[in-house]
Amino acid sequence: MQLIALSPLDLGLAAALVVILALISWRLRLGVERRLLIAAARSSVQLALLGLVLNVLFAQRSLPLIGLLSLGMLLAAGYEVMARQKRRFRGSWGMGLGSLSMFLSSFSVTLFALLVIIRVEPWYQPQYLIPLLGMLLGNTMSGIAISLDNLTRAAWDQRGQIEARLSLGHDWSSAIALLRQDALRAGLIPIINATATAGIVSLPGMMTGQVLAGSPPMEAAKYQLMILFLIAAGTGLGSLVAIWLGSRRLFDERERLRLDRLAPGRSG
């Protein structure tokens, strides 16, 4: 089956639906129409630029260029993790904690998939590495952001209980253990729901793309299963690292709760 190319008019018709939604938001005074239109414009520019960059990468297969793009994706994801939190960590910890967690999880899982599961030669082929890394970063980013947001909010709201446990002789780890468990659980719920409902409620993105491109449905299903398993592992590992580092950062070397290391709360 031949892939049907989309014209600018086709994309314009799809974009018109977003404009209609923005008008509905304005009419109902929801206050999200501006953010909706900005998000749509950003995605259009970003995906168009990515398409141009990938054309160059696919033609050259240059490892330094692929590494530079991967680093840019990681830093952008780290910024988004910080931006989505109501009470983020101050200074370089705000962005660095999410970036480090995703580096340790998403990059390691991507390399495992390329070297052990798919066994592509060379391992840095951009048509495999970039999509896999992008899917892992995007989903791991969401899990880490949710986990950290729940941890810092709960630590702020329950600071009295944490300090009471410390005064009773608990160490920092046991004083915040329940909050840490709840934060990890919250970060894993989205990927658990997505995995459990795949093929029943939703047709995941990678499988949809492969089917539209003409791949056999069963082969597309196998690739999608692999992606779901990799995302689940990456999200779990990334959230674990982020929560451990974040919870440790909330206490100083004398095991005192240090909420001054969090930035002031923001709305939204």
Instruction: Report pLDDT digits (tens) over 169-212.
Output: 899 999 999 999 999 999 999 888 888 887 776 666 767 777 76
Give the pLDDT band of residue 109 (cuts 50, 70, 90): very high
Pair 253, 170: CB distance under 8 Å:
no
Q: What pLDDT score does 190 carry?
A: 87
Checking phi first, is residue 12 left (phi over 0); if not, alpha (psi -120 to 50) or beta?
alpha
d(CA 242, CA 184): 9
Q: What DSSP string runs through 243-254? A: HHHHHHHTB-TT
* Reported pTM: 0.79
One-letter amino acid identity for 112? F
Pair 23, 33: CB distance under 8 Å:
yes
Q: What is the domain partition of the chain in residue ranges?
A: 1-60, 63-261
Pair 127, 150: CB distance under 8 Å:
no
1, pLDDT greater than 60: no
pLDDT tens string 81-108:
888 788 888 888 888 888 999 999 999 9
